[in-house]
Structure 1
Amino acid sequence: MTADYPESRRDESVVETLHGHQIADPYRWLEDADAAETKDWVSRQNAFTESVLTQYDERGWFQQAMTAILRRPRAGVPVQSSGWFFVGRNDGTKAQDVVYVADTLAALLDGGRVLIDPNTLSEGGTDSLGTFTVSPDGRYFAYGINESGSDWTTFRLLEVATGAEVDDVVTEAKFSEAVWLPDSSAYLYSHYPAGGRSEGTETKVLGGGQLKLHKIGTPQADDQLVLSFPDQPRIFVTPVVSEDDRYVVMHLHEGTDAATRLWLYPITTDGLGDPIKVIDEFADEIDFVRMAGDRLILRTDRDAPRGRLVSSDFDGNFTDVIPEGENALRSAYATSGGLATLYLVDAQPELRLHDIDGGNTRSVPLASGGLVDVTGGAKYDELFVGLSSPTEPTLSYVVSAASGDLRPLPSLAPAGETFAAPEITVRRVVEPGREVPYFVISRADLDLSEPRPTVMYGYGGFRVPIFTDYRPGWPAWLAAGGVLVITNLRGGGEYGTAWYEEGRLKNKQNVFDDFIAVAEHLQKTRVTTAAQLAIHGRSNGGLLIGAVMTQRPDLFAVALPGVGVMDMLRFHLFTVGAAWASDFGLPDDPEQFEDLLAYSPLHNLHDGSAYPATLVVTGDHDDRVVPLHSHKFMAALQHAQAGSAPVLTRIEVDTGHGFGKPAAMVASEWADLLAFAAHHTGLVPPEQ
């Protein structure tokens, strides 16, 4: 152990017997984020990390680069709703994007007017706009505010035409948007009673949610309870109003599991009728797309691991509309002309248009890269598609569902500073042993005849597809002369359900083995060396980094786990952690406990081992993957480290899991991550 690390008190008395194993937990006191001792520990760790990073010459270059990148003007994907067009914009000087509105697309492209500026909501810009929806009559703009990066949401209203505030507030919402009834009198939302949260940084288990109906102009206390599962707290409900205004379609999920129960609530003049339980078991992924007369169009993986579109009666009997094909069907959308589908072709998006019966299929050519968003609706011919690349943020296109014509939109971003993103090359590679696909990305003029410092990124879980998309740090790393590798691991959503199943529960080790196999292949093919390889991932990807760095510390020079799940024996005891049982299992189950113990990063650190240079990042208000995971892992890692490489933590204050983080914080965090990676992989940025 390096004596200079801040002291982390070890309580050797905390030992539990779990399924026959003696499990020591000497840093359990760090689970109490509000305790003075924890706050003091955070302060001392941050001070120590700053004292180390300030010595790195590379830090100045990356700070300048990241500041320039985040000062680039940017804009999101337009949204058309209820007679209005909306877009988020940032001139590069704002902590949060500003929402603009206009009554035509042309007017929006000309500038539009400011509807809401989230930068006025808090000092430092730590409060962010999470979701917004528009009442069907076009009068109200219901927006959700998340404070300090928390998942907790407060809903407020504006009048779209005037921007005037409406005296109507709903609090203690989570994991939902405002879903309007067709007459614009009320909206549905997911409410979590006060007992499900605590002051300051939340660590309590999230209690069962309640789907409620809020009538505009009435107190929240009078909201109608529509649906709840008090004995099944891991049930989450996502409502959608059918495009014909006849039904509220309820998607019921158990945690993050994609298996779906599908209930229809008829919309009546008095509210909602009794449910029609079209699918009432958790068996298959089901996603409502639209109505076709008295039948439902659904996307499903039932008998189709790559996905298909079906027509269903109210008894859940399916008929193919678009059968399963060679590629993974990721999502489907209603258009005025019928249907649009989004497929993933080797982790690249492909948009197709169809009549409502699935016929007359037309492919829309999209640029390779990452999918940002697709917006549209059954009332509109236009689909707005946002794409990105590793060096360029959102580029928006408009697609005519009738003709299939695609045209790029003029830049929606305001004028401002620029950053000269480098020209890049993208090469697709498949590791030959486990056949893991990955992308190798580098500056176009970079000499690759010798191994290069490389950042390798992965996720591998929860059916999430990983693209060659934009992240603010990528253009800086590439401009500095580093190589970027983006991996497609089992457990992700790139190739359908079977690919996902091979990376969860008892198969979770496959994710780590895939990542290790790519690292070994990169070194075998001389893209990089162990001394030049940095690895990075966030959330479930942070777990990935924690697992592989403890299993193969010899394979990497640098580990950069962000907001990771590190304590696999207690993750289910905090906030929404139990919802992740779909991928991880639960430690309460003896068999699943053994699987979790085998790879839990916290429990696979060994005193006296030499670990890579490590920079763990988290946010003190993260109420999804609570910071105790990173804190306990760091304390244990600093105690175990026998090598000379530093192991540090960077704890951002007043931020959460990542969404809505102010631009300056994003720039600062990425600058430190990349400077740390460069320093310990030998990457020398230009002009140094």
Structure 2
Amino acid sequence: MKPEHAPPAAPSLTYPPARREDRVDDLHGRRVADPYRWLEDADSDETTAWSAAQDDLYAAYRERLAAGADGWSSEALTARLQELLGAGFVGAPAWRGERRFFMRREGAQEHAVVMVAEPDPQSPGQERERVLIDPVALDPAGTTTLDAWQPSKEGDLVAYQVSSGGTEESVLHILDVATGELVDGPIDRARYSPVAWVPGGEHFFYVRRLPPEQLPEDERQYHRRVWLHRVGTDASEDVEVFGAGLDMTNYYGVSLTRDGRWLIISASAGTAPRTDVWIADLTAGGLDPRSPEALASPRLVDVAVGLDADTHAWVGRDGRLYLHTDLDAPRGRLAVADPSDPGVPHWRTLVPEDAVAVLEGVAFVDAGDAAGPEGTRPEQLLVSRRRHTVSEITVHDPHTGEQLEGPAGHVALPGMGSVSGLVTRPEGGRDVWFSYTDHTTVSTVHRLDAATGDLTVWAAPPGALADVPEVRVQQLEATSKDGTTVRAIVVARADALDADGRPLAESPTILYGYGGFQISLDPAYSTSTLAWVEAGGVYVVAQLRGGGEEGEEWHRGGRRGAKQNVFDDFHAIAEQLVADGWTTPQQLACWGGSNGGLLVGAALTQRPDLFAAVVCSAPLLDMVRYQLHGLGVSWTDEYGDADVPHELDWLLGYSPYHRVVEGTEYPATLFTVFDGDTRVDPLHARKLAAALQAATSGDPESRPVLVRRETGVGHGGRALSRTVALTVEQLQFVADRTGLTARGGAGDRGAA
């Protein structure tokens, strides 16, 4: 007989029925089954009903979790994540004359805001700060995100782009900085659009897609062009400057020197690791560079076109053309040329490729007190590199490229972390600003005085810094299937390790990875990492081929026909964690999103024995049809093209949806998807979830396959409260399935 006040029994977990079609496609002579094709149609009655049933199933799981005796309560974990986020955020400054622009988020703010600091007319010598752009003021519901912003060269105007509901469909507006009033816009179809202001603020170059009525429906996300816009006029009057006849998936970059003379345009087809670059002298033929004739018809000259290389170019204040390129240098080099004669044969290497470290960025500074005029030769060259993901800054002679000898040749950073950006004043000067973060340090802006070498904190986050657990960060090495050494960063509580840094006991562990698009997973402050480690878990970040951690060769070693290397690397790290006593397969979870969702989808279908739980967020999973949805066609250079027979074989070799085997005991899996996602369609998660639920021999009570669906958000930015809520549920799922109880020492503060 039940006690009088016993809690109600937790609901059982039963998978909703999903119709399995006998659909087999003949693709280049390969018979490819697709039993859940119908789930691609999000708006059909059948898919809507299936999704609602999955919502109910996940709600039942959450009810069971809340009824359990162990684990984090949602309230406790939410409070701890908010505490860890309480410092907020501050970004490096963008200087325009006497004004500086920067981003800041107070601890409890849903979105970061754009701030402007300027001389205070009421207090000579003092600054005043004010909010310039606040997404919540634009949309109190918090579903509008700020995608990009760019001040004019004089700092009088700001172009900014916002989108709603997670769609990332940016709309461009122009704001008067002094009054806060809108003076232009909205201009739609401006997704992923850089803005290059012409001196004087009357015109700017930007990127916009062609009108949808001019295009087939399946191409309306593409066909971008570079346009010239006159502020205050209708966008229909804009002049098309560049892009006609080139690849429809091209992304364009556009920049203009401070004096308005040199226009640089770049283009890359989709996400291919190749960038074409052109330059135009807007004074050619004696033209005024601000004249409509010069702006609308630039005479573009090839800088690097048709090369299998990624190149970024700019003209410095000294009038020289600088090129950050991986041409003949997979880890990057800095070259210099005359902008009037910019072709590759005329490039001279200024800073050569390092044997190990990857070139990240450079900055030229004047060592004197006053900013020099245009044409002034710089006095120092700062070079930022990443050595096995850890940042370093060195100091060089700007004319020879030679690193200065002794301590003068190095900038002593606060720790083994990540540097982002090397920011200088457009007009020159002795100061450089950059952001620094590591696993326990919130991103903070530092200022380097290049004349003295002094490094100081310029801007700390505005909120209170939370106490963080005492952790140790170390590097793990593993040998992948083909013999390649791969690395991972292991973060664990110091009191869980012996004097040599070895684990005292096996622990619930999260293995996180990405492995694609040359993206590097560098050291950074992470609230989810700290909360997990504080509670007694181990958090591991894998540095896989396909990423950018070791340069372009590392990237190419994990793309296209070599994509399986990425998964082999991931499995090797997981096996090494078990072999070294960090964890067991019963306590090991893997976690990834987007391309990282593909990674963990491959892991769960290729090595279901190795993981107890999987968090698969906004994933790519049907690699046969991925290019038909979202922005998929722009990723064929990374994965391969299913319309090419031998490339289809690459994709079929690892496509998670096509690797599901009936009767296999799959790990507990949580798919998190977002209805506003226009990059990776949620259909991928729906199809694999249905396939796994039908095929797995695992008990839904212990190894559930679940879908967490969220509306009003998409693939990218989101409100802080939504980020916290998602992280809470993901961490609770992993803790529940790996046995983390959030007890002991520092972990008590997160205990239920």
TM over 0.5: yes
State the Cα distance separating 1:386 from its structure 2 match.
1.3
Instruction: Show structure 2 runs of 5+ residues with no match.
Output: 1-11, 283-288, 367-377, 498-502, 743-747
1:556 matched to 2:611? The reply is: yes
Quick check: 1:351 aligned with 2:351?
A: no
Instruction: Rate the CA distance shift 1:235–1:108 in 2: closer, same or farther, 3 A.
Output: farther
- Give 1:646's aligned amino acid: P
**Match of residue 30 from structure 1:** 39
Name the structure 1 match of 2:713. Answer: 655
CA distance in 1, matches of 2:343, 2:313: 15
Shift of 1:404: 3.5
1:279 aligns with 2:304: yes
Gap change, CA 1:560 and 1:324, over 3 Å in 2:
same
- Map residues 307-386 of structure 1 onto 2, 5 A cutoff: 307-312=332-337, 313-317=341-345, 318-337=347-366, 338=378, 339-357=381-399, 358-359=401-402, 361=404, 362-366=409-413, 367-381=415-429, 382-386=431-435
RMSD over aligned CA atoms reads: 2.5
Deviation string 1:409-438 (CA, Å, 9 cap, x unpaired) is 24241x46x643212110112114531111
Structure 1 residues 30 and 655, CA, compared in 2 at 3 Å: closer, same or farther? same
Q: Structure 1 residues 299, 380: CA separation in 2 closer, same or farther (over 3 Å shift)?
A: same
Cα drift, residue 244 of structure 1: 4.7
Give, as a single letter, the amino acid of the residue that structure 2 aligns with 1:332. Answer: G
- Give 3-state SS (helix, strand or coil) of 1:638's partner: helix
Larger mean Cα displacement after TM superposition, 224-233 or 435-444: 224-233
Answer yes or no: is the 8 Å Cα contact 1:335–1:377 preserved in 2: no
Which residue does 2:373 correspond to in 1? Answer: none
Alpha carbons 1:9, 1:27 under 8 Å: kept:
yes
Report whether the alignment pairs 1:9 with 2:56: no
User: What secondary structure, in the 3-state scheme, does the structure 2 residue paired with 1:667 have?
Assistant: helix
1:580-622 CA-to-partner distances (Å, cap 9, x unmatched) read 1222111111111101100011111112111111111121111
**Residue type at the aligned position of 1:363:** H
Are 1:371 and 1:469, in contact at CA under 8 Å, matched by a contact in 2?
A: no
Report if the CA contact (8 A) 1:334-1:378 is conserved: no
Query: Does residue 489 of structure 2 align to residue 439 of structure 1?
Result: yes
Correspondent of 2:52 among 40, 43, 48: 43
Equivalent AA in structure 1 for residue 61 of structure 2: V
Quote the Cα distance in structure 2 between the aligned partners of 1:134 and 1:466: 30
From the superposition, tell whether residues 548 and 41 of structure 1 become closer, same or farther in structure 2 (CA, over 3 Å): same
Percent identity of the aligned residues? 33
TM-score by length of 1: 0.93
Instruction: Specify the code of the residue in structure 2 equivalent to 1:511.
Output: V
1:299 and 2:327 aligned: no
Preserved contact between residue 205 and residue 574 of structure 1 (Cα < 8 Å): no
How far off its partner does 1:359 sit?
3.9
Asked whether 1:169 is paired with 2:186, we answer yes
Residue 388 (str. 1) matches residue 437 (str. 2): yes
Alpha-carbon spacing, 1:620–1:164, altered in 2? closer, same or farther (3 Å): same
**What aligned pairs does 1:135-284 form with structure 2 within 5 A after superposition?**
135-195=152-212, 206-230=221-245, 232-267=247-282, 268=289, 269=291, 270=293, 271=295, 272-284=297-309
Letter in 2 for 1:113: R
User: What residue in structure 1 maps to residue 95 of structure 2?
Assistant: 80
One-letter amino acid matched to 2:384: L
Give the 3-state SS of the residue equivalent to 1:630 in structure 2: helix
The TM-score with structure 2 as length reference comes to 0.86
Residues 380 and 319 of structure 1, relative CA distance in 2, 3 Å threshold: same
The alpha carbon displacement at 1:43 in A equals 2.9
| Cα drift, residue 655 of structure 1 | 0.7
- Structure 2 CA distance for partners of 1:111 and 1:104, relative to 1, 3 Å: closer
Alignment of 1:509-520 (within 5 A): 509-520=564-575
More relative contact order, 1 or 2 (CA 8 Å, 6+ apart): 1
Aligned pairs, number? 680
CA contact (8 A) 2:624 2:648 kept: yes
Residue type of the alignment partner of 2:353: E
Q: Which has the larger radius of gyration?
A: 2
- 2:694 is equivalent to residue 639 of structure 1: yes
Q: Is the 8 A contact 2:546 2:554 kept in 1?
A: yes
DSSP 3-state at the match of 2:581: coil
State the SS of the aligned residue for 2:473: strand
Residues 1:679 and 2:736 are matched in the alignment: yes
Q: Is the 8 A contact 2:391 2:419 kept in 1?
A: yes
Looking at structure 1, the residues matched to 550 and 58 of structure 2 have their Cα atoms a distance apart, in angstroms, of: 40
Which SS does the other structure have where 1:523 is aligned? helix
Q: Which moved more, 1:67-76 or 1:105-114?
A: 105-114
Partner of 1:491: 546
Larger deviation, residues 343-352 vs 673-682: 343-352
